[in-house]
Amino acid sequence: MSKKKPYPLRINEDILAAVQRWAEDDLRSTNAQIEFLLREALVKSRRVKLVQKVVTEVEALDTPPRDIED
């Protein structure tokens, strides 16, 4: 696992607010969202190679889900 290095970031307030809203929508922290965006941009521009992609496996339930009544 790689180490994380702190880095001060000066960013436009409007851009930061938009990134924070996006992070909330994706259930990430603002820092994780910025890392995600930077990583995606680096891969897309072929500046880095994606070595491992995290995959979440989903298993079927043994019993069917019950309907929830309010």
Residue 37 pLDDT more than 80?
A: yes
> Is 67 a member of any domain?
no
Could you tell me if residue 49 is inside a domain?
Answer: yes
Threshold 0.75, pTM exceeds: no
pLDDT at 56 over 70: no
- One-character DSSP codes across the chain: ------------HHHHHHHHHHHHHTT--HHHHHHHHHHHHHHHTTSS-------------SSPPPPPP-
Q: Is residue 66 part of a domain?
A: no
Report the chain's mean pLDDT, rounded to a whole number: 83
Domain assignment present for 22: yes
In a domain, 29, yes or no: yes
Q: Which residue segment(s) compose the domain that 51 sits in? A: 10-60
Indicate the number of domains in the chain.
1
The answer to the question of residue 52 being in a domain is yes
